[in-house]
Amino acid sequence: MPFWWPFIVASAFVLSAGLSPVMATFALRLGFVDAPTAARKIHNRIVPYFGGFAVFFGFALPTAVALLLTNHFTSGAIDITHFVGLFLGGAILLVGGLLDDKFTLPPRFSILFPLLAAVAAVFFGIGVDKVTNPLGGALLLTSSASILLTFMWLLGMTYTTKLLDGLDGLASGVTCVGALMIGLLALSDQFFQPDVALLAFVFAAALIGFLLWNVYPAKLFLGEGGSTFLGFTLGVLAVIAGSKFATTLLVVGVPVLDVVLVIFRRWYEGRSLTAGDQTHLHHLLLAAGLSQRKILVIYLVIAALFGVTTLVFSSWQKLVALGILMLLTGGVIQFLYKKYHVIEYGHIHE
């Protein structure tokens, strides 16, 4: 490990932690705040947005410095154009989120920004060349298949963290675990991608700096742009790390399945697919009597435990672990939903 790695990682933490209160002040002055007016809100006070900007700059600025002073970021799996796609896509999401936070854009307009971000990433060369065959070897993808898979993956990850961001520290905490696991896997002898590892650790450090202000009771929220930027970046890291889809899904498997089940239930019950409610897993756990801090710990422990398996499991073992996670999570969600879904349109206070 080069001697300057700790400095670049530490600078991401310091920048993000230092920028967070500054961004909170700006958000309050400009009126970008989350007021507890909608039924699905679980906080009972005004909280400023703009946390996503703190994470973005805490991540982007140290990365830019490292790109200017060294070639460690571009001597392996990552090309310089990948950084353009990553940060251009992130900027698109932050601008779109800013508009959404201010004007509450309808879904048909707000989806344009995640679509554009995914297009930017693919256009600048972020793509999946092959996927691991659980039975051995790898499956090579055609150009069109690569574009389609990458596009759908990034869009799915973007919306996963967007919908996960319903509890203090939840989206940023789970995303941080995902980034750390990708970084550790990239340092393993099997893959050894130090450039990917450094990028993942810089991102994780920026998230940890923001988490100082985002855990319960949160003093700053990510905002729409920040919540989507987190999933987009984690998705990009998984792609450039060599299609680490199973690794990422083991970390974010619980929120992914939660999103799928919520959308299915809304469709099955004839409700709007885009209308907010309180049927997500974290809402149901609150209704069951758990505090926000306890729920956050549960999510992070599950993400970390299943994430660690990716460091030691083979490809087919990861799929088995993912299947077990899906079954257990699905059972718990269904049980809690049957028992507590009556609070769907209520307002929960811890």
Question: Chain-wide mean pLDDT for the chain?
Answer: 88
pLDDT at position 313: 79
Q: pLDDT band for 45, please (50, 70, 90 cuts).
A: confident
Structure tokens at 20: 């967070």
**Angle at CA of residue 296, ends 290 and 301, nearest 5°:** 110
**With 60 as the cut, is the pLDDT of residue 133 above it?**
yes
Structure-token pair, residue 8: 């670049």
DSSP character at residue 273: S
Mean pLDDT throughout 167-172? 95
Question: Which residue would you say has higher pLDDT here, 78 or 36?
Answer: 78
Looking at residue 346, its pLDDT comes to 39
Among 168, 156, 159, which residue's Cα sits nearest to residue 51?
168
What's the pLDDT tens digit per position in 179-219?
999 999 998 877 788 899 999 999 999 999 999 999 999 99
Does this model's pTM top 0.75? yes
How far apart CA 280 and CA 277 sit, in angstroms, is: 8
Domain ranges of the chain: 5-343
Q: How high is the pLDDT of residue 178?
A: 95
**Neighbour tally for 209: CB within 10 Å:** 26
Q: What is the pLDDT of residue 78?
A: 86
Residue listed under structure tokens 């855990």: 215
The pLDDT assigned to 160 comes to: 93
pLDDT grade, residue 343 (50/70/90)? very low
DSSP conformational letter for 218: P
Residue 342: what pLDDT?
47
| Residue 26, number of CB atoms within 10 A of its CB | 15
Per-residue pLDDT, 207 = 98
CB 266 within 8 A of CB 273: yes
Q: Which of the residue ranges 12-26, 239-253, 284-298 would you say has the lowest mean pLDDT? A: 239-253
Task: State the pLDDT at residue 349.
Answer: 31
- Give the whole-angstrom CA distance, residue 115 versus residue 102: 20
The residue among 149, 161, 159, 163 whose CA lies nearest residue 121 is 149
Q: What are 217-258's pLDDT values in tens digits?
A: 999 999 999 999 999 999 999 999 887 888 888 889 898 889
Taking Cα atoms as reference points, which of 282, 286, 264, 281 lies closest to residue 273? 264
Over 80: is that where the pLDDT of 271 sits?
A: no
Q: What per-residue confidence (pLDDT) applies to 344?
A: 43
* Whether the predicted pLDDT of 350 surpasses 50: no
Q: Reduced to 3 states, what is the DSSP secondary structure of residue 132?
A: strand
What is the band of 345 on the pLDDT scale with cuts at 50, 70, 90?
A: very low
Q: What pLDDT is recorded for position 317?
A: 82
Sequence length of the chain is 350
- The phi, psi pair for 2, rounded to 5°, reads -60, 145
